[in-house]
């Protein structure tokens, strides 16, 4: 019984010590530990990693790896393309993009670039490869089908056709 009492008070004292050490040692330690875990934010949100950049002169188009939703996720598979920097884009963008890098254009993308960043964007995508879906006057209805301005880039997500 005496041992249990000693252990109990030792643990209670250690808990108070943990509390005192938290802001200086444990919180940074735990946070860095969690950040170091091999985890990533769901690519439906982040758009997946960039696999290559296509130079268009004053601006470039970053092509991301296609994203495939998990389990019963309500989104469709898509590929994200980033036009950046926004300041170098013409007022009207109309580009043919070779997404898969085979030398042939896969889609034609057209959108207006308003100088005011607040108005919602609209995009037309014409599929030149049956792997990619056509979009007409798309806004930001779904994560897999949208055009948005994020920081200094305009992001277009083109849904993939059903395999």
Partner 1 sequence: MATDARTLPLARPAPRGIGWSLLLTLPILVWSLLMFFNPGSSKTPIWIISGAITALFMTTLFFMMMRSRSTYRWRRIFFVSLGVLFPIGFIYNIVVMRGTMGIPVEEMIAGRTPFCFMPIPMLILPAAFTRTLVFPGSIASASHGIAAMVGVWLALTLVMGKGWCSYACFFGGIEEGVAAIPARAKIRKLDPRLRYLPWAVLLAMVLLSLALFEPAYCMWLCPFKAVSEYVAARNLLGLVQNVIFILLFAGLVIVLPFLTKKRTQCSWFCPFGAFQSIFNKISIFEVKIDKERCKPCLVCLNACPNLSLSKESVARGETLLSCMKCGACVDVCPRQAIVWHIKGTEIAWKPERARLMFLYAAWAMAIMFGGSIIAQGIATILHFIV
Identify the residue among 83, 95, 155, 156 touching partner 1 (CB under 8 A): 155
Q: How far is the CB of 106 from partner 1 (least distance, A)?
A: 22
Give CA–CA dist 80/144, Å, rounded: 9
Pull the structure tokens for residue 149: 């301005």
CB atoms within 10 A of CB 31: 10
Nearest to 158 by CA among 128, 135, 137: 135
Question: Is 94 in contact with 113 (CB distance < 8 Å)?
Answer: no
Instruction: For residue 65, state whether it binds partner 1 (rule: CB under 8 A).
Output: no
Task: Judge contact between 124 and 135, C-beta under 8 A.
Answer: yes
Q: How many angstroms separate the CA atoms of 144 and 119, rounded?
A: 20
- What is d(CA 20, CA 122) in angstroms, rounded to the nearest whole number? 53
Asked if 41 interacts with partner 1 (CB under 8 A), we say: yes
Output 36 or 130, the one with its CB closest to partner 1: 36
Contact by Cβ (8 Å): 132, 48: no
Query: Nearer to partner 1 by C-beta: 42 or 112?
Result: 42
Please state the closest distance from residue 34 (CB atom) to partner 1, in A.
4
**Residue 162 touches partner 1, criterion: CB under 8 A:** no
Q: How far is the CB of 140 from partner 1 (least distance, A)?
A: 5
- Residue 2 lies near partner 1 (rule: CB under 8 A): yes
Does residue 110 touch partner 1 according to CB under 8 A? no
The residues of the shown chain that bind partner 1, judged by CB under 8 A, are 1-2, 4-5, 7-9, 11-13, 15-16, 18-20, 22-23, 26-35, 38-47, 69-74, 140-141, 143, 146, 148-151, 155
């Amino acid at each position: 019984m005496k041992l249990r009492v000693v252990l109990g008070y030792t643990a209670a004292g250690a808990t108070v010590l943990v509390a005192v050490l938290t802001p200086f040692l444990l919180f940074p330690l735990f946070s860095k530990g969690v950040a170091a875990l091999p985890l990533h934010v769901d690519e439906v949100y982040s758009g997946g990693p960039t696999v290559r950049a296509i130079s268009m002169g004053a601006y470039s188009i970053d092509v991301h790896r296609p994203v495939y939703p998990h389990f019963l996720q309500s989104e469709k598979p898509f590929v994200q393309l980033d036009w950046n920097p926004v300041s170098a884009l013409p007022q009207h963008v109309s580009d043919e993009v070779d997404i898969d890098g085979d030398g042939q254009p896969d889609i034609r993308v057209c959108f207006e670039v308003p100088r005011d960043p607040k108005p919602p964007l609209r995009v037309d995508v014409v599929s030149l490869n049956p792997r990619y879906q056509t979009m007409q006057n798309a806004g930001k209805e779904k994560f897999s089908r949208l055009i948005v301005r994020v920081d200094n880039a305009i992001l277009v997500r083109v849904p993939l056709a059903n395999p």
